[in-house]
């Protein structure tokens, strides 16, 4: 099995807030991530596809096709957006890095026609990232 990975970057803002918590609980649990005006990140997304290379092309999946899928499904939807309010797939959720990565998985998986989506890695900062993989019980939540 071969794994190929494509990387992309996007910038977005978000707010951690649970409407079931009191203002004090939200501030205590989420700290500065509970800023009512949100805060932003320059996210780095790595998407890995696993499979066997096509004998005719030598490719697991055409990387140009993967780039177009990422731009359409992630870039167009999330780049320079306030995730809480502008991304319907995140409505009603706290857009943690974990939730965003799982949402990206759900957006991408049905679009991959060759190979299989193997991993979505989302960096919120250079030293904080989340991996979403198919081997989670029941798949990505």
Domain limits, the chain: 2-133
Beta-strand pair 2-14/81-82: parallel
Cβ atoms 12, 89 nearer than 8 A: no
Query: Which of 9, 39, 52, 80 is flagged as catalytic?
Result: 80
- What local confidence, expressed as pLDDT, does residue 140 receive? 59
CATH entry 3.30.479.10 includes domain 2-133? yes
- What local confidence, expressed as pLDDT, does residue 138 receive? 47
3-state secondary structure of 85: helix
End-to-end CA distance of the chain: 25
Q: Does residue 33 have an active-site annotation?
A: yes
pLDDT digits (tens, 9 = 90+) for 76-85: 999 999 999 9
- What local confidence, expressed as pLDDT, does residue 134 receive? 82
Nearest by Cα to 107 from 61, 69, 59, 66: 69
Nearest by Cα to 125 from 7, 9, 29, 5: 9
pTM for this model (two decimals): 0.93
Query: Which of 9, 33, 65, 71 is flagged as catalytic?
Result: 33
Query: Which of 14, 17, 41, 124 is flagged as catalytic?
Result: 124
Q: Does residue 132 have an active-site annotation?
A: no
Beta-strand pair 2-14/39-51: antiparallel
Low-confidence ranges of the chain (pLDDT < 70): 136-141
Distance (Å, rounded) from C-alpha 13 to C-alpha 43? 10
């Amino acid at each position: 099995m071969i794994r190929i990975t494509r990387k992309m970057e996007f910038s977005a803002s978000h707010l951690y807030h649970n409407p079931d918590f009191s203002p004090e609980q939200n501030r205590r649990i989420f700290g500065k991530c509970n800023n009512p005006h949100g805060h932003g990140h320059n996210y780095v997304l790595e998407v890995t596809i696993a499979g066997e290379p096509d004998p005719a092309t030598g490719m697991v999946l055409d990387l140009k096709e993967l780039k177009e899928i990422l731009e359409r499904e992630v870039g167009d939807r999330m780049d320079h957006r306030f995730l809480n309010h502008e991304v319907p797939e995140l409505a009603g959720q706290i857009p943690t890095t974990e939730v965003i990565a799982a949402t990206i998985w759900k957006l991408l998986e049905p679009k991959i026609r060759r190979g299989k989506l193997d991993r979505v890695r989302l960096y919120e900062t250079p030293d904080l990232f989340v991996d979403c993989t198919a081997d989670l019980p029941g798949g990505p939540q």
